[in-house]
Chains A and B, each alone.
Chain A
Amino acid sequence: MSGPGAITLRVNGEDRSVPAGATVASVVALLAPSPDGCAVALNGEVVQRGAWAVQGLTDGDHIEILTAAPGG
């Protein structure tokens, strides 16, 4: 549940309540120790790094924050 002034996002498969003014950059900062090596998809579209700080979010948005992992 989101309180007043908060929205609920689906971030990497889990619901998270964040302030209504949250941006992609602020959500990335919640999960990633450093934005280096990370990429973000918002509702199935890539958000370029340069837009993270200005990209606003709305209730119910799906965000995937990915980084490199071991793999062949």
Chain B
Amino acid sequence: MSAEPTPAAALHGAAREAPCDDAADGRLTIAGEVLASRLFLGTGGAPSMQALDRAIAASGASIVTVALRRVDPSQRHSVLDVVRRHPVRLLPNTAGCFTARDAVLTAQLGREALGTSWVKVEVIGDERTLLPDPVELLDAAEQLVADGFVVLAYTSDDPILARRLEQAGCAAVMPLGSPIGSGLGIRNPHNIAMIVEGASVPVVLDAGIGTASDAALALELGCDAVLVASAITRAQDPEQMARAMALAVEAGEAARRAGRIPRRFHAEASSSFAGLADLSAVSEE
């Protein structure tokens, strides 16, 4: 098995250590399930069900998330009809919940509606920031784990909270790069690298991705996967952006495994100075 860069190495370029990866063949595994892609897709924000359908196909995503909302009798085509055409795992979320109680009940309804015990637990503090409420989140995660759920926790980029969620039994932690839908990318790469360093469950960068390079950076920092919603669904061409994200995730993962060079203040020539010709003009005497 080849040595792999540590998260610190991924951030700064440094010495290498033993791998901290999942499946022996290098594929992502969550709760014992091998996932074919490190790109997860959120379904919110697409201009149409047709656009979403094409974006899912182009993304090659292994996991697709949905929210739970009141049945709309006027709605002809459900997002489920679209998602079920693709070989993906459906992941219900608890988006819109402000309390642990609501998140737990929503998760239970998702399990009942969709026949899966996997849940992306999300408990937000307010509508303006949509940032996680850490107290309610941890409470919800503990209750859901006790209730037999496979819990993937949407969390802030706080390494200590990520650790507490892992200790609570979460199957994956999903730190944000920046606020949901902001497209601001990864505002604190150092924290993400620290979360990766401390985690022994998969780390999925969730929220804030704006474009493909943000997704590549997440993987370069050592994240095991990224979840992208708005950056794809609200792109001018969602299908093309889905393809770009798939390539970015693949490139970022390959780059992480390859091990980046250290950052340097000054230049270091890649062409050796040894054997350099003396091309100074012959003195004209």
A-side contacts of B68, CB under 8 Å: 39, 66-69, 71
Interface residue tally for chain B (C-beta within 8 Å):
36
Query: Interface SS of chain A: helix, strand, loop or mixed?
Result: strand
A13 interfacial contact with B, CB 8 Å? yes
Contact (A72, B230) CB under 8 Å given A38-B113, A46-B108, A48-B112: yes
Query: Whose C-beta in chain A lies nearest to the C-beta of B101?
Result: A44
Q: Does B52 contact A (CB under 8 A)?
A: yes
- Chain B residues whose C-beta falls within 8 Å of the C-beta of A37 in the assembled complex: 78, 80, 113-114
- Name the A residues within 8 Å of B92 (CB-CB): 68
The answer to whether B78 touches A67, judged by C-beta atoms less than 8 angstroms apart, is yes
User: A53 on the interface (CB 8 Å rule)?
Assistant: no
- In the complex the two chains form, what is the Cα distance from A39 to B67 in whole Å? 13
Which residues of A lie under 8 Å from residue B36 when comparing CB positions? none
* Distance A33 CA – B68 CA, assembled complex (angstroms): 17
Interface residues of A in 39-72 (CB under 8 A from B): 39-41, 44-46, 48-49, 64-72
Known contacts A68-B79, A68-B92; is-contact A33 B73 (Cβ 8 Å): yes
B79 contact from A39, A41, A46, A69, Cβ within 8 A = A69
In the bound complex, residues from chain B placing their C-beta under 8 Å from that of A45 are: 105
A33 contacts across to B, CB distance below 8 A: 73
**B93 lies within 8 A of chain A by Cβ:** yes
Chain A residues closer than 8 Å to B155, beta-carbon distance? none
| B29-71 to A contact mask, C-beta < 8 Å, 1/0 | 0000000000000111110000010000000000001111111
Residues of A within 8 A of B80 (CB): 37, 67-68
Contact of A70 among B45, B110, B111 (CB under 8 A): B45
Q: Is A2 on the interface with B (CB-CB < 8 A)?
A: no
Q: Determine if A39 and B113 form an interchain contact, defined as CB atoms under 8 angstroms apart.
A: yes
Query: Is residue B229 within 8 Å, beta carbon to beta carbon, of the partner chain?
Result: yes
Residues of A within 8 A of B247 (CB): none
B41's nearest neighbour on chain A, judged by CB, is: A72
Contact yes or no, B52 A38, CB < 8 A: no
A38 to B69, CA, bound (A): 10
Indicate if B227 sits at the interface (CB-CB under 8 A): yes
Chain A residue at minimum C-beta to C-beta distance from B104: A46
CB distance from A8 to the nearest CB of B (A): 18
- The distance from the CB of A42 to the nearest CB of chain B, in whole angstroms, is 11
* With contact pairs A37-B78, A44-B105 given, residues A69 and B67 touching in the complex (Cβ less than 8 Å): yes
Chain B residues proximal to chain A, CB less than 8 Å: 42-46, 52, 65-71, 73, 78-80, 83, 90, 92-93, 95, 105-106, 108-114, 180, 207, 227, 229-230
Give 12 A-B contacts (CB < 8 Å), ordered by A residue: A32-B71, A46-B105, A49-B112, A64-B70, A66-B69, A68-B80, A69-B68, A70-B67, A70-B79, A71-B68, A72-B42, A72-B65
